Amino acid sequence: MSAAGGVDSIRVAAVQTVSGSDVGANLAAVEPLIVAAREQGAALVLLPEYFGIFGARATDKVDAREADGHGPQQDFLSRVAREQRLWLIGGTVPIATADPARVRSASLVFDPHGQQVARYDKIHLFAFSQGDERYDESKTIESGSAGVTFDSPIGRVGLSVCYDLRFPELYRSYRDVALILVPSAFTAVTGAAHWHVLLKARAIENQCYVLAAAQGGMHANGRRTYGHSVLIDPWGTVVAELANGEGVVVGEIDGARIAQVRRDLPALSHRRLA
């Protein structure tokens, strides 16, 4: 058994995409990557933020919104999880809200039976202004309000999305988890500066694995995303990584490694502040 209460080990995968504005085309492009991950033994596959819609305008995802429980992206996730018999996490899907101008950016977890078992709505909304680059997700996204975990074969898994990575208190609230998931679409600028530092910090301070699936390349809308989908172990060591372009990162989540790190350096038991 692992330190987090699951099986000894499982293989996991992060899918990296360079998505565009056509939902159907994006889903058609990502399915073979999921299948490839499964063929390499992955039992849990994470897709990046905006895997189904990375539009020319921020409002494009609002136009592609789906009612909670049904829609092209949700039906796709359910079908592929069931057909491939794996845990499949759709990085984000735009879910409709009462405000017709905004959506929830929801990370959806489907089990090997194709059933949705968890939903996390992105809490922290990205804003950035440097030169010609300007982003403000709050204009089109309604913030979530609570962290979410789910039980997997390897133990408890904590959910987050992209910009959440800069807010360690979210991950601390998850307590004893074996794995943290970070579907993302980091910009080239912020990714080059902070991506690896932040991911390693979250793994080290929580003494767990971190799996990050990213958008990675030049998109049709002219935006460049950083890529570098990666699996990092509890010591902060990179297990597997893909720099740019479409592809799959596959690696092992080892319960014995979690237990060893926590035994050698029992930092989690030394916490004094809530």
Please name the amino acid found at residue 73. Answer: Q
DSSP string, 228-253: -EEEE-TTS-EEEEE-SSSEEEEEEE
Provide the H-helix boundaries in 48-113: 60-63, 72-84
Residue 38, H or E segment: helix 23-39
Please identify which of the residues 66, 122, 142, 208 carries the catalytic annotation: 122
Please identify which of the residues 61, 162, 200, 252 carries the catalytic annotation: 162
Of 189, 237, 179, 236, the closest CA to residue 213 belongs to: 179
Of 253, 227, 252, the closest CA to residue 241 belongs to: 227
Q: In the 8-state DSSP scheme, what is residue 15?
A: E
Please identify which of the residues 49, 137, 142, 252 carries the catalytic annotation: 49
122 is catalytic: yes
Of 200, 190, 97, the closest CA to residue 182 belongs to: 200
Please name the amino acid found at residue 79. Answer: R
- What residues are labeled active site? 49, 122, 162
